[in-house]
Amino acid sequence: MKVLSFGSLNFDYVYEMDHFVQAKETISSLHYSRNFGGKGLNQSIALAKAGLEVYHAGMVGLDGQAFIDYLQKYGVKTDYLTKNESLATGHAIIQVCQGENCIILHGGANEAIDFKQVDEVLSHFEKGDLLLIQNEISSLAYLIERAHEKGLKIAFNVAPMNDKVFQYPLSFIDYLIVNEVEAKGLGNCDSDKIEDIITSLQKAYPQTEIVMTVGSRGSYYIHGQELVHQEAFVVQAKDTTAAGDTFTGFFLATLFQGSTIQKALQVASKAGSIAVTRNGAAQSIPSIEEVKN
């Protein structure tokens, strides 16, 4: 089985704040850094660190060579990563305050992925291979349709959640990976109770394998009436950026290396809890040795 992670790459401009900036306010940051990020890149790195061989497909601008070098440093294959001559690489402006964050995205080259690139990349993959996607690139509905047609297994981390999600052929997705807020949106659920959110997902996606993270209350695997729960590992959060990406990569890698669902949830929770104790996105993802220890 080959693993294709088709997703975004962003320069993350990270500002540490003593409070999030308000309307009509101008404030100074406490600290600034520029890091490698993008949900696609973060999840490729997490898959690779968890032990899978991964191909990352996506698009950067002419300023994006550093992303190719960074992915290669962690063993991610970049054969299907292209450079756009006229657009800049995507970026994110991230404020971090007391462990929480808020993010503004500019898609840049991530939004220039077209049907031609999708067809070219998919021509190198076949039935039984795994495709991992998030909601930060263009042509996603087409990518899902073509990948399904070819018989790839599809895992979709529904982040960031927005109205576009409902235009995608979600019935072709094998694994949906969501946090609580994304789960409520997907299940069209008004209640904040975990049991109600789970019921709404079971009703809306009875065939799909769903993983839902609920912060300090752990994570759930939901498949029809089958339910598996994993407690969270309690840590002092410094920066939650890429915690979900770390969880997603480690969950899928552990599962596809032959472990049980319970074990995959446990390894993913440990990896995610280490990531939140560190600053930044891709740089906060632990190695498999750190997770085991």
**Which positions touch ligand RIB (CB under 6 A)?**
8, 10, 12, 37-39, 42, 92, 103, 136, 241-242, 244-245, 281
**Residues 166-194 as b or e (16 or more Cβ within 10 Å = b):** eebebebbebbbbbbebbbbbbebeeeeb
Residue 38 CB, shortest distance to ligand RIB, in Å, is: 5
Structure tokens at 154: 């599809």
Residue 237 CB, shortest distance to ligand RIB, in Å, is: 14
Report the residue number, 139 or 202, with the smaller CB distance to ligand RIB.
Answer: 139
Report the residue number, 5 or 10, with the smaller CB distance to ligand RIB.
Answer: 10
Report the residue number, 241 or 266, with the smaller CB distance to ligand RIB.
Answer: 241
Report the residue number, 200 or 248, with the smaller CB distance to ligand RIB.
Answer: 248
Residue 212 CB, shortest distance to ligand RIB, in Å, is: 16
Residue 281 CB, shortest distance to ligand RIB, in Å, is: 3
Residue number with the shortest CB distance to ligand RIB?
37
- CB contact at 8 A, 74 and 25: no
Residue 204 CB, shortest distance to ligand RIB, in Å, is: 24
Report the residue number, 244 or 249, with the smaller CB distance to ligand RIB.
Answer: 244
Report the residue number, 92 or 255, with the smaller CB distance to ligand RIB.
Answer: 92
Residue 227 CB, shortest distance to ligand RIB, in Å, is: 26
Count of positions (residues) in the chain: 293
A 10 A CB-CB count for 219 gives 24
